[in-house]
Amino acid sequence: MKKSKKGSYDGKITLVDVALAAAVSPITVSRVINQPEKVSEAARLKVQKAIDELGYIPNQHASSLASSRSGVIGVAIPSLSNVVFTDVLRGIYKVMGAAGYKVLLVDTHYSPLEEEKMVRTLLSQSPEGLIITGGDQTPACDQLLRKSRIPLVQIMELLPNPIDMNIGFSHLLAGADVVAHLLAQGYQRIGFIGARMDPRVQQRIRGYTQALAKRDLFEANLIATSPEPSSIALGGALFKSLMAANEGRIDAVFCANDDLALGALFEAQRMNIAIPKQLAICGFNDIEAATYVNPSLTSVAVGRYEMGVKAAELIIQALNQQPIDNKQIDMGYVIKQRDSTHRQQ
């Protein structure tokens, strides 16, 4: 089962095998694959024929090693079971796929330590670019990334000290704006429901707290949170404890995401609380259900797919040595007002 110096059979067809079959040199085969325009029509056809007949598939590891170009972009996200990230991913895959890059995707489970481990994994694949979530890296991971000298985009939030490039929006401002919206609608006792408590949720809470405190409307028991992953079920449960902790004296709930908001909304319905008459509910992320649920759910919309696209484009620009006018991009957000927070009607 060994393979002799020149292309004897071992199951794996190599470039040398193709070269032998086509009666050309290996480098010509290489060129047919990578720079067909530099090869004569005749040679190209011969080689292509051999490739097809032998079912040759290039060995990307050998190619990467020889050229130090892996064609791989590493991506690290905190969770695979959250639309928020898969939407961004779709944008990344779209652009990277079209540009001929493969995406190596890792899941950090919201843990900086896991992230560090995963970044090592990614780096060992000699990625040409990296897209990671947020700015909550361990010091070691931060060092690793700074030393790596490849284009890097941190996504999902605006960072004070980006390692390289950064694209996202201000969760702090968004949180404060939601409060402003609710106040403008006449709601006063505004509760907050949050789960998983990642850095972005914490920023939303800060925005919420600051906005309320500024009007002297903040109280600690207005906040109900859980370290567990968000879910509709958890939203319902947190809503119940929020109401209990305030003896029902709550007239609006700001939920850290739409799953929690749906849970709160469904639970409120079961408790026969009229929305938005007795109680307003505002979500975050604007998932599709927000538009169609009854009553429709006010939520904060962000161009996640577009953020993925833009992040990928930034990487590609950097790889093509094109100038990048702005290393930090604010995607902004829009509060989509719907029935669930529409008091006067």
Partner DNA sequence: TTGTACGCGTTATCAT
Partner DNA sequence: ATGATAACGCGTACAA
- Binding stretches for its own copies (CB under 8 A): 11, 55, 57-62, 64-65, 70, 80-81, 83, 86-87, 89-90, 93, 97, 102-107, 120-121, 123-126, 143-144, 147, 149, 231-233, 236, 259, 262-263, 266-267, 269-270, 288-289, 291-294
45 touching DNA, by CB under 7 A: no
The nearest distance, CB 183 to its own copies, in angstroms, is 29
Size of the site for DNA (CB under 7 A): 32
Please choose which of its own copies, DNA, none residue 1 contacts, taking the beta carbon within 5 to 8 angstroms, the exact cut-off set by kind. none
Structure token digits, residue 143 = 């060092």
Q: Which is nearer to its own copies, 222 or 264 (CB)?
A: 264
Please choose which of DNA, its own copies, none residue 8 contacts, taking the beta carbon within 5 to 8 angstroms, the exact cut-off set by kind. none
55-84 positions binding DNA, by CB under 7 A:
56, 58-59, 62-63, 65-69
3 state SS of 101: coil
Please choose which of DNA, its own copies, none residue 102 contacts, taking the beta carbon within 5 to 8 angstroms, the exact cut-off set by kind. its own copies
Strand ranges (E), the chain = 72-77, 102-107, 129-133, 152-155, 165-168, 190-195, 223-226, 252-255, 280-282, 299-301, 328-330, 334-336
26 touching DNA, by CB under 7 A: yes
Strand ranges (E), 69-171 = 72-77, 102-107, 129-133, 152-155, 165-168
Beta bridge pairs of residue 298 = 282
The nearest distance, CB 62 to DNA, in angstroms, is 3
Please choose which of its own copies, DNA, none residue 43 contacts, taking the beta carbon within 5 to 8 angstroms, the exact cut-off set by kind. DNA
Q: Distance between CA atoms of 44 and 26, rounded to whole angstroms?
A: 13
Please choose which of its own copies, DNA, none residue 241 contacts, taking the beta carbon within 5 to 8 angstroms, the exact cut-off set by kind. none
Cβ atoms of residues 330 and 170 within 8 Å: yes
Residue 237 to residues 193, 231, 248, 286: CA-CA distances in angstroms? 10, 10, 14, 21
Residue 113 to residues 141, 196, 203, 229: CA-CA distances in angstroms? 9, 16, 21, 18
The nearest distance, CB 93 to its own copies, in angstroms, is 5
Sign of the C-alpha dihedral, residues 288, 292, 293, 295? positive
Sign of the C-alpha dihedral, residues 113, 134, 139, 73? positive
Structure token digits, residue 104 = 């190596």
Q: Distance between CA atoms of 317 and 183, rounded to whole angstroms?
A: 43
The phi, psi pair for 10, rounded to 5°, reads -145, 15
The nearest distance, CB 10 to DNA, in angstroms, is 7
Q: Which is nearer to DNA, 150 or 300 (CB)?
A: 150
14 touching DNA, by CB under 7 A: yes
Q: Distance between CA atoms of 310 and 308, rounded to whole angstroms?
A: 5
The nearest distance, CB 223 to its own copies, in angstroms, is 22
The nearest distance, CB 89 to its own copies, in angstroms, is 5
The nearest distance, CB 16 to DNA, in angstroms, is 6
The nearest distance, CB 206 to its own copies, in angstroms, is 28
Q: Which is nearer to its own copies, 103 or 197 (CB)?
A: 103
Cβ atoms of residues 338 and 290 within 8 Å: yes
Q: Which is nearer to its own copies, 5 or 220 (CB)?
A: 5
**Any residues with CB less than 8 A from the CB of 25 and at least 6 apart, and which?**
19
User: Which one of the spans 5-13, 94-102, 167-175, 231-239 is the region binding DNA (CB under 7 A)?
Assistant: 5-13
Binding footprint of DNA on the chain (CB under 7 A): 2-3, 5, 10, 12, 14-16, 24-28, 30-31, 33-34, 38-40, 42-43, 56, 58-59, 62-63, 65-69
